[in-house]
Structure 1
Amino acid sequence: MKRYTLIFLALLTTIFPKIVVADVVQNIDASLDALEAAVASKPADVEALQQQLKPQLDDYSQQQKIRFWVLNSVYHIYQSDYNSALEILNQAEALSPTNSMLTSIYLYKATALIGLNAFSQALDVMERNLSRIESLDDVQLKASSYIRLAALFLEMEAWEEIETYANQALRLNNRQNPRNHCYGLLYIAVAKLKKDQLNSAYQQFNDSMNYCHDNNFMMIEAMSLKGIGDVELKRGNVESSIIFLEKALQAYEPFQYQIEINHIHSLLAMAYNRLGKPQQAQYYADLVIAAPSHGINLQYQKDAYKVLAALSQQQGQFESAYNYLNRYQEISENLHNETKAKAYAYQLAKFDNVEKTREIKMLNQDRALYTAQQKVMELQRYKESMALLVALGCSVFFIIFGATMFLQKRKYKRVSELDQLTGIFNRGTGQDLAENLFIDVIARQGKFSVVMFDLDNFKAINDTLGHGTGDWALKHVAQVVRPLLKSRDLFVRMGGEEFALFLPDADADVALNMAEQCRAAIEAINTKPHYSDLVITASFGVTTNIDTDLSLDPMMKRADIAMYQAKLQGRNCVVEYQETMSMIAAIA
């Protein structure tokens, strides 16, 4: 039957070629459009559409086949079947896709690799895609690619890069493509929210909500409504938060976008708990717990378990509260480890990129040197008498060049290890060195202490006096603390206004004394005459290793909890970790 159908089509093509080919292409494209719409908004219809389309694959053009396989991979990604998605994307890439479709393939590959926690491979794919995008002349393709990169950096928790690429997309798009403009506004708002710039985030979400509503992008409008609700919850405007979250929930229902719905449920559980409405809080928390326990759902379930623990404690059900807290801490630990893996992969990728750039520069220098040598050899044929002098000059040049490269390499390595603002170790290098010191100490059955501290009310300093004042404060904190340390002690900037001291061969008394000295030195920083309204203080958490500590991770976690207790006790103080603090911190 199929053979007769093909003969009939061949005859029709001979008689009416343009009409038949156009109709076939249009019908296939229309079917693929329907599949794309189902993937985006009606996942339940996808499998049925795939079954209808697969028997027709032989009639597809090469680019239509590629589009079908890419849409198929997206569906597998939505189902968290990342390995199948990668296999399908490799199959699509082998068919020589267009630049636009190749961009989609690379970015969906990165998404699947992130889902598999293969962060280094994901960043490598993103870097390769970005390098080819930069060489293209298609402005709209670049803008769309930057939007997708912003989405991937959101999964990598790289907030600065989200804002950078979203702004680049908006600049290139120049309002020509409403979808790209809508997504650009949304991702900038998300970056502001993640960086706790709540007022800016509120305005950005409001802008994206209005623009997306006017241009009929209802899904992105719903995301913006959720974002406003999240901002309001963080600002303490609980009733306003619930209004926006319930509007967002209503807007999401037609799309059946379950991950986003789970997020709203977790936010509503927290909001109703704060509002003192336990029944509503319990209802939404139970919905989140019932969702599949994988991927981003774990973050929402962590928040839901915390709400359930608080509710059980209020009702006197202490055993249930304890069980919920255990689950909360277990998920928190897993998420913390995943975040560390993402951060490590991202920092490693940035370092590799710098190294590659340096190597390319050195290769260009070598090429220029080689050309110069060739010219010298040509001159040598005509001026034999100058051969010895030329050889001697080249030898001196090589010695100077080699020495310069050696010194530059050492300089770049040192710079990569330090925090550029304060001049102390950055987090990646500092933690690696501290782990080595820790292993050395426990091998000798010695004592090792960790001191974590961050500056009090630092966000208020930035908001009221400006980021320049905040940078000034961070530099002076590093200047007054560094002279107090011993030669083997490590001083590390962990990020933002948070610092850590790693003290080998220091017991609890020595660590507490060191922390108190640092606290007093910070409080004594003279801010006049430049910043007469500025007062700098810090809160310290201290812990010392115990027999069960096999790495620094549990010690840093305990020091962080103790630092949090210092904040609760009024800031500008030193608190040593006690075993009872973990449960208190979890409930709080």
Structure 2
Amino acid sequence: MHYLRLFLAWLFSIVVCAPLMASDVDYDAVIDELKASLIAEPAKSSEVIAYLKDNSQHLSSEQRARVLTLESNKEMYNGAYEHAFNLLIQAEQLSHSPEIQNSIYLYQATALIAMKKYQGALDAMAKNLDRIEQIDDVTIKMTSYLRLANLYLDLEVYDEVKRYASLAYGLSRETSPKEQCYAQMFLAAGELKLSHYHEAKQLFADTRTFCSEHNIPLIVAMADKGKGTSHLRLGELQQAENLFLSAHSEYKAFKFQLEINDVSSLLAETYLMKQELERAKQYAQQVIDIEDDPSVIGAKKRAFKVMADALALEGAYQQAYRYLDKYLQLREAVIDETKAKAYAYQMAKFENAEKAREIKMLNQDRALYTAQQKVVELERYNESMALMIAIGCSICLVIFGASMFVQKRKYKRISQRDPLTGVLNRGTGQDFAENLFVDVLAHRSVFSVVMFDLDHFKEINDTYGHSAGDWALRRVVDAVSPSLKGRDLFVRMGGEEFAIFLPYADEQAALKLAKQCRAAIEAIQTRPHYSDLSITASFGVCTSVEEDLSLDPLMKRVDMAMYQAKRNGRNCVVMYRSNMTAMPQQANNAVNA
């Protein structure tokens, strides 16, 4: 009987006291421990997540939102971006805290970028920026700036990476070591992506020292990888190898497979440059064997290139060509992805945390320069590979010849275009137009020409500079092009003068198109670049008659019509009439002034 009473007392204590014991647990401290373990002890984080899930009934909705947000971080480390995004959606529904929602929106943007949904990512960033403006907490602002820097790094907008990282660094310096560590890493990454390798190398070294002193091993691994990449680009291969091996080992402790894959591809490239072909092929094959996924496309592209180069050096040209083909496919996919990011960034407008502002559109000249550099790089690679294959066997000689034929056609197409605006140049445009005119004559149809000249263009150059004139010419082409059909020819005749050749278009159709183009040019928005600038053009229109046997008579008549539009006060459309006369040269010069 005594033992029975003891057993009942023990059972009562378990039933009554268990909830009291659970209520004594500081779950906020446990969640903070989870946050720290994700950075310093990744193996421990799984145990903490499991414990918090088992005790979810004791957590508030805000605490559950924090747990889901941190769990999504772990899933992103493992490359499970869609699952991570779904966890963040659940967290968003649970939380009403501005601080937690701020984190949720930024992590959502990270996951969406990884899933190539760039417009959705920018929308999530816009939501977050609206919230940062309402928050006075310096810590929240620091973390927000850091995450924005990370997102812009994924979007390949590297000047914005440096800007937000600098803001975070200024707030965190000597006050918050962890945030300062992240800020230094992003500043170094920005310099690396901008090809400032000496500066990046020093910044990564400083980052590693600082983050190691404050026990932030994940950023130490990232710093090793970044510094190794700087050494690699500078040709310092032994230092690069040592740092990549160190980063590879450090990432394995975190089971950070995405970064492990990227470091493996960098090691493959390093060993190729060191002429250690077997090791290069070993690391490249590890990456190639990974299941295809958008998150590993960059690493696989690098691995295929290494494998193609290594096999070519060994004389296995047919195998090298197969790997080269895969590399070129992935390279095209990367270029398409870059274009998608640029388009999403151009389309998105949102407000900054510190002041309301509009994001400027991406610099088209920079994009064009980048594209040209990629074409040059591809051209050089194709030429070197073709030469090596030609030495190997006669079949490869045919491939070499074919590639050179393609390049010749490419250069021919480039020579036919105006380098500033991208439309046909005068010589090519008139040749094409003459051919079209002959075809129209053979079918006994009509041919129309629209010619226009920008008004007061010299004043634009004199007042705002030649860069403003170039900008205006490109914007005019952008405004006019959507109105044209596939068979129409758009030609820059020289300076600020353009012509549109319209086969099988009668007088009314040509006049209608000219009016549309005039309105489109007048509607060009010049703000915020040149607030006081307005762009207009004077149009002349002319249609062929039976007596016309070449384009020359049409060009003379349309020229008369255009200068009649100048005389009529500019910014108008004039159809050629037989009573018009050519403008004297002196008056012509006065009108153009």
Is the pair's TM-score, using the shorter chain for normalization, greater than 0.5?
A: yes
1:428–1:249 CA distance, 2 compared to 1 (3 A): farther
Aligned ranges 1:450-461 → 2 under 5 Å: none
Letter in 2 for 1:330: Q
Pairing 1:102–2:113 present: no
> d(CA) in 2 for partners of 1:273 and 1:430?
48
Q: How far apart are 1:39 and its partner, in Å?
A: 4.9
> d(CA) in 2 for partners of 1:6 and 1:298?
59
1:23–1:250 CA distance, 2 compared to 1 (3 A): same
| Aligned residue in 2 for 1:242 | 241
1:329–1:7 CA distance, 2 compared to 1 (3 A): farther
Counterpart of 2:470 in 1: which secondary structure?
coil
> d(CA) in 2 for partners of 1:117 and 1:259?
16
Counterpart of 2:498 in 1: which secondary structure?
coil
| Aligned residue in 1 for 2:200 | 201
Aligned ranges 1:545-556 → 2 under 5 Å: none
Pairing 1:424–2:460 present: no
Letter in 1 for 2:204: F
Q: How far apart are 1:72 and its partner, in Å?
A: 3.0
Pairing 1:328–2:321 present: no
Counterpart of 1:443 in 2: which secondary structure?
coil
Bigger radius of gyration among the two: 2
Aligned ranges 1:228-239 → 2 under 5 Å: 228-239=227-238
Counterpart of 2:487 (choices 438, 443, 465) is: 443
| Aligned residue in 2 for 1:307 | 306
Counterpart of 1:104 in 2: which secondary structure?
helix
Structure 2: runs of 5+ lacking an equivalent = 1-9, 359-459, 501-593
| Aligned residue in 2 for 1:271 | 270
> d(CA) in 1 for partners of 2:480 and 2:246?
49
Counterpart of 2:151 in 1: which secondary structure?
helix
Counterpart of 1:291 in 2: which secondary structure?
coil
Deviates more, 1:157-166 or 1:280-289: 280-289
Q: Deviations over 1:511-535 (max 9, x none)?
A: xxxxxxxxxxxxxxxxxxxxxxxxx
> d(CA) in 2 for partners of 1:484 and 1:334?
37
Q: How far apart are 1:206 and its partner, in Å?
A: 1.4
1:248–1:131 CA distance, 2 compared to 1 (3 A): same
Q: How far apart are 1:207 and its partner, in Å?
A: 1.2
Q: How far apart are 1:351 and its partner, in Å?
A: 8.3
1:448–1:268 CA distance, 2 compared to 1 (3 A): farther
TM-score by length of 2: 0.58
Q: How far apart are 1:7 and its partner, in Å?
A: 9.8
| Aligned residue in 2 for 1:406 | none
1:242–1:123 CA distance, 2 compared to 1 (3 A): same
Question: Is the Cα–Cα contact under 8 Å of residues 100 and 141 in structure 1 kept in the other structure?
Answer: yes
Counterpart of 1:487 (choices 487, 490, 498) is: 498
1:291–1:46 CA distance, 2 compared to 1 (3 A): farther
Counterpart of 2:260 in 1: which secondary structure?
helix
Q: How far apart are 1:328 and its partner, in Å?
A: 0.5
1:357–1:139 CA distance, 2 compared to 1 (3 A): closer
1:7–1:80 CA distance, 2 compared to 1 (3 A): farther
Q: How far apart are 1:131 and its partner, in Å?
A: 2.2
> d(CA) in 2 for partners of 1:173 and 1:436?
49
Q: How far apart are 1:115 and its partner, in Å?
A: 2.2
| Aligned residue in 2 for 1:566 | none
Q: How far apart are 1:425 and its partner, in Å?
A: 4.2
Q: How far apart are 1:423 and its partner, in Å?
A: 4.7
Q: How far apart are 1:231 and its partner, in Å?
A: 0.7
Aligned ranges 1:414-563 → 2 under 5 Å: 423-425=469-471, 436=482, 440=485, 442-443=486-487, 487=498
| Aligned residue in 2 for 1:23 | 24
1:130–1:488 CA distance, 2 compared to 1 (3 A): farther
> d(CA) in 2 for partners of 1:105 and 1:290?
34
> d(CA) in 1 for partners of 2:62 and 2:11?
21
1:174–1:240 CA distance, 2 compared to 1 (3 A): closer
Letter in 2 for 1:487: F
Q: How far apart are 1:424 and its partner, in Å?
A: 2.9
| Aligned residue in 1 for 2:282 | 283
TM-score by length of 1: 0.58
Q: How far apart are 1:422 and its partner, in Å?
A: 5.7
> d(CA) in 1 for partners of 2:342 and 2:101?
27
Question: Is the Cα–Cα contact under 8 Å of residues 126 and 351 in structure 2 kept in the other structure?
Answer: no
> d(CA) in 2 for partners of 1:426 and 1:21?
70
Q: How far apart are 1:124 and its partner, in Å?
A: 1.6
Q: How far apart are 1:95 and its partner, in Å?
A: 2.1
Q: How far apart are 1:260 and its partner, in Å?
A: 1.5
> d(CA) in 2 for partners of 1:124 and 1:165?
18
Q: How far apart are 1:209 and its partner, in Å?
A: 1.2
Root-mean-square deviation (CA, aligned residues, Å) is 3.9
1:47–1:448 CA distance, 2 compared to 1 (3 A): farther
Q: Deviations over 1:192-237 (max 9, x none)?
A: 1111112211121111111111212121112111111101111122
Q: How far apart are 1:122 and its partner, in Å?
A: 1.0
Counterpart of 1:296 in 2: which secondary structure?
helix
Question: Is the Cα–Cα contact under 8 Å of residues 79 and 258 in structure 2 kept in the other structure?
Answer: no
Letter in 1 for 2:210: Y
| Aligned residue in 2 for 1:514 | none
| Aligned residue in 1 for 2:66 | 67
Q: Deviations over 1:257-292 (max 9, x none)?
A: 222222211111111111111111111111211223
1:352–1:211 CA distance, 2 compared to 1 (3 A): closer
Letter in 1 for 2:345: Y
> d(CA) in 1 for partners of 2:39 and 2:162?
24
Counterpart of 1:94 in 2: which secondary structure?
helix
Question: Is the Cα–Cα contact under 8 Å of residues 150 and 162 in structure 1 kept in the other structure?
Answer: yes
Counterpart of 1:189 in 2: which secondary structure?
helix
> d(CA) in 2 for partners of 1:6 and 1:168?
58
Counterpart of 1:487 in 2: which secondary structure?
strand
Letter in 2 for 1:94: Q
Q: Deviations over 1:534-567 (max 9, x none)?
A: xxxxxxxxxxxxxxxxxxxxxxxxxxxxxxxxxx
Q: How far apart are 1:47 and its partner, in Å?
A: 6.2
Q: How far apart are 1:448 and its partner, in Å?
A: 9.7
| Aligned residue in 2 for 1:212 | 211
Q: How far apart are 1:83 and its partner, in Å?
A: 3.6
1:147–1:54 CA distance, 2 compared to 1 (3 A): same
Deviates more, 1:29-38 or 1:264-273: 29-38
Counterpart of 1:176 in 2: which secondary structure?
coil
Structure 1: runs of 5+ lacking an equivalent = 360-413, 450-481, 490-588
> d(CA) in 2 for partners of 1:51 and 1:88?
15
Q: Deviations over 1:284-311 (max 9, x none)?
A: 1112112232233110110110011111
Question: Is the Cα–Cα contact under 8 Å of residues 261 and 287 in structure 2 kept in the other structure?
Answer: yes
1:485–1:152 CA distance, 2 compared to 1 (3 A): same
1:12–1:288 CA distance, 2 compared to 1 (3 A): same
> d(CA) in 1 for partners of 2:92 and 2:157?
27
| Aligned residue in 2 for 1:89 | 88
Q: How far apart are 1:62 and its partner, in Å?
A: 2.1
Q: Deviations over 1:455-476 (max 9, x none)?
A: xxxxxxxxxxxxxxxxxxxxxx
| Aligned residue in 2 for 1:580 | none
Question: Is the Cα–Cα contact under 8 Å of residues 158 and 194 in structure 2 kept in the other structure?
Answer: yes
Q: Deviations over 1:144-193 (max 9, x none)?
A: 11111111111111101100000000111232110100010010000011
